[in-house]
Amino acid sequence: MMDDFNERLAIVKSELRQKNKLESMLRSAQASFALASRKRDKLKKLLAKEQSDVDAMEGLSITGLFRAMLGEKEQRLEKERQELVAAKLKHDQAADTAKDLSDDVKRLKEALAKRENANAEYELLLAEKADQLAANESDATGKLVELTHQIADLTADQKELDDAAEAGHLALKAVEEIQGTLASAANWGAFDMMGGGMLATMAKHSRIDAAKKQARIAQRKLIQFEEELADTSELLRVSLKIDGFSTFADYFFDGLIADWIVQSKIQRAKAECSKTISSVKTAIRQCENRRKSVRSEIEMLTERKQELIERA
């Protein structure tokens, strides 16, 4: 009877911890979404301004005609167009990020709704258990209850560490894919600078476009990993900082004016990827080390509980 009761309590306690975890992740996602929304709105205004500047330059205004006569218009127009492209790419990237975070907020709210009664169920079971203990005051019963609680807590810890490690491996894979794409872009870029022709130019920019798309996926995976780590921070005492990586795509957006500038930005992005990969690997290693320790503790307490039951 008591074993069945303890199993029920362990299940409900796990659900309660999962609810607390989701609440923490939801608060983080909502804060990130608010920041991303403000950035998107700011870039939307900048995009409108750049579009207005290009429209003004392309129009047949007196000022425009005067500049054309002086041979300045085309040069200035090309500069304005480059700034418009950069503003468009930045805005689109910010809009994508805000959309991803909005989806995360929605997903977390739905998961929380399924556990809205976890607190009440836990309190009810605790009250029932108090009644059971009052009816059976043996030392063995008290020790069994204590061991059951310890095992339940450690099992929940292990689940959170499993989730964090899994999220870390997904993030690591995503960043490593970008690094491979950037390496290819850099090789084609070097060939292009040596006169590789249209094929090399197209191949280079194809790799850059692929890296942009991969960056969005990787950024989301890194944010999810950071959320999982935040939930296990008391266990790991580690925090993955991804602020630098979150601006990764910007390296491609700031005025792709000349080949050597593009090449420089590719190298900077590669360096950022390497730094992020190192941070992710360190965090994963700490997750896995702590997970082994927790697993050993669970095995030890389970054996102790079994011995207590056999002697009772």
Amino acid identity, position 96: D
Q: What is the mean pLDDT of the chain?
A: 75
Q: Please check the confidence at residue 1 and state whether its pLDDT lies above 60.
A: no
Q: Give the H or E element holding residue 239.
A: none
Residue 166 and residue 225: Cα distance in Å, rounded?
8
Q: What share of the chain is helix, strand, coil (3-state, %, to 5)?
A: 90, 0, 10
* Mean pLDDT, rounded, for 185-207: 66
In this structure, the number of other CB atoms found within 10 A of the CB of residue 55 comes to 11
CATH topology of domain 138-312: Four Helix Bundle (Hemerythrin (Met), subunit A) (1.20.120)
Residue 83 phi, psi (nearest 5): -65, -35
Residue 82 and residue 74: Cα distance in Å, rounded?
12
Which residues of the chain form CATH 1.20.120?
Answer: 138-312
Residue 201 and residue 43: Cα distance in Å, rounded?
29
Q: What is the pTM of this model?
A: 0.62
Identify the top-confidence range among 76-90, 233-247, 271-285: 271-285
Structure-token pair, residue 136: 């059976």
Amino acid identity, position 224: Q
Instruction: Answer whether 296's CB lies under 8 Å from 157's CB.
Output: no
193 vs 55, 97, 182, CA distance in Å?
Answer: 33, 33, 16
Side-chain-side CA neighbours of residue 100 (13 Å)? 19
Q: Please check the confidence at residue 169 and state whether its pLDDT lies above 90.
A: yes
Supply angle C-alpha 44, 49, 53, rounded to 5.
Answer: 145
- Tell me what pLDDT residue 255 has: 39
Question: Percent of the chain scored above 70 by pLDDT?
Answer: 68
Which residues of the chain form CATH 1.10.287?
Answer: 1-137
pLDDT per position as a tens digit, 213-258: 777 788 788 888 887 877 666 555 555 554 444 455 555 444 343 4
DSSP 170-184: HHHHHHHHHHHHHHH
Q: Please determine, looking at this structure, whether the domain spanning 1-137 carries the CATH number 1.10.287.
A: yes
